[in-house]
Amino acid sequence: NFRHSFARSRSLSQRSPPDINQHRFVCSMPPGPTTMAAASPKAVGKVDEVVTSKPLLASRTAYKDQTGLKMDAATIAHRKAAILNGDSEQSGIHTENVKHVETTNFYEPDPLDSTQIKYPKALDLIGNTPLVDLTSLCNAKPGVRVLAKAEFMNPGFSHKDRIIRNILTKAEVSGRLRPGCTVVGASSGNTGASCAMLCSMRGYKCVIITSPKCSQEKMDAIRAYGATLLVSKPEQDYMQMEEDLAAKNPTWFSVNQYANSDNPEAHHCTTGPEIFEQTCGTVTHFVMAGSTGGTISGVGSYLKSVKPSTKVYLADPVGSVFTNYFKTGELGTGRKFLVEGVGKENIPGCLNFDVVDDVIPVSDSQAFAMCKTLARSEGLFVGGSAGLNVHAAVQLANTLDEPATIVTLLCDTGVKYLSKVFNESWLVENNVTAAVEGDR
């Protein structure tokens, strides 16, 4: 039950904040002729410069006229024709101020070399996920906001892409992971899918061990990426199975996500800085469930390093031992709960309780009800752990008296739980009341 200092990851945080738009593409329509005419009635119809983005990210070339307004090729052609026809309204200029307009004042961009256009690979799309505003779910006082980071937009559809990228990359750099190696990892589902996906990209064989609690959709996804999937028997510890397989196969690389410090480091160096930058430093609270503990420990340690007043809350499913351990320092006895990928019956090495300020218990019914609320009122189709996070964040928001910015994570997509969280027969079979919350 050791606790990490994150000294190395803190030193990394002193670097310049990441460019959150590095791999995101934002398309904005250039102003049309009428808009430009209204904005600049005396603009001269001459192109002064051609501006291209470097590196080239798309086959668009932007133009600027003497007013500094950007124009695309279609707008240039429109204004050119209007000027030559003496139509000052559409050209955006006063023809009495222009004695002669030469067609050579307008020119087309040089043709692009298609081989120079840079497009992202799937690996490049990990991270830099957007924040969405969920304040409408609250009955909070003015100035209190709830934001959620859409981690289901990662290529593997969960935040676990971040940790697997970091773990595999560092293992490759250190020489622990070499071509021809087999990667083995225990997972409740999402880390397994992320591991299988990245191994398929990098050419490694992959063996994933999970428990029968894992949804069929996540199991199928792991197999779809080409990994070998082993499902533990009820009397087996699937995390121990990873250690046993790694011991029997010395050439295999063990992910060891529950005790690998590269797990929280990934969130300390990416998710935390992104949240701080996306909120312009206004974040006051971070709410997150724990399984390995990597996300809450990594994000929490970063936010507290740049803004010590930040409060970190552990959202915990009722039945997990984390709540009792935080309050009493004793493990206690866990009991069954249905939300996947959160809570535990033991304390993983990656969970640093030093960054946790308080715990918010959430029942299965509350978590699943919030999943339905998010789908039916916000159009967000997310999994049970995301519902648990948002329920805890909303509950916290409704208790605050001062303005605050609460951030949580939408860990994965609801598509992974069609056979469970969004299956009425399964809910009834498991005695879960998951009616949509009608009284917020």
One DSSP character per residue, 57-91 reads -SS--EEEETT--EE-HHHHHHHHHHHHTT-HHHH
As a whole number of angstroms, the distance between CA 328 and CA 325 comes to: 5
CB atoms within 10 A of CB 74: 11
- Tell me which H or E stretch contains 440: none
d(CA 44, CA 36): 12
Distance, in Å, from the CA atom of 115 to the CA atom of 228, rounded to the nearest integer, reads 37
Distance from C-alpha of 174 to C-alpha of 182, rounded to nearest angstrom? 16
At 289, give phi and psi (nearest 5°): -75, 165
Fill in the DSSP letter of residue 176: S
| Token pair listed for 97 | 């101020």
Using an 8 Å Cβ cutoff, are 51 and 62 in contact?
yes
Beta-strand pair 144-150/131-133: antiparallel
Cα–Cα distance, 56 to 74 (Å, whole number): 20
Q: CA distances (Å), 324 to each of 317, 329, 346, 347, in order?
A: 12, 7, 11, 11
Evaluate the CA torsion angle 198, 200, 202, 207 in order and state its sign.
positive
Instruction: Retrieve residue 118's tokens.
Output: 């840079």
Question: For residues 258-274, b (16+ Cβ closer than 10 Å) or e, as one string?
Answer: bbbbbbbbbbbbbbbbb
Which residue(s) pair with 320 in the sheet?
318
- Whether residue 360 contacts residue 287, with contact meaning beta carbons closer than 8 Å, is answered with yes
**Is 189:157 a contact under the CB 8 Å cutoff?**
no
Q: How many CB atoms lie within 10 A of CB 81?
A: 14
Specify which residues 229 forms β-bridges with.
Answer: 208
For residue 336, indicate whether it is catalytic: no
408 membership: H or E segment, kind and range: strand 404-410
**Is the Cβ–Cβ distance between 257 and 209 less than 8 Å?**
no
Residue in 160, 218, 304, 344 annotated catalytic:
160
**Tokens 């009616």 belong to which residue?**
435
Give me the active site residues, please. Answer: 160
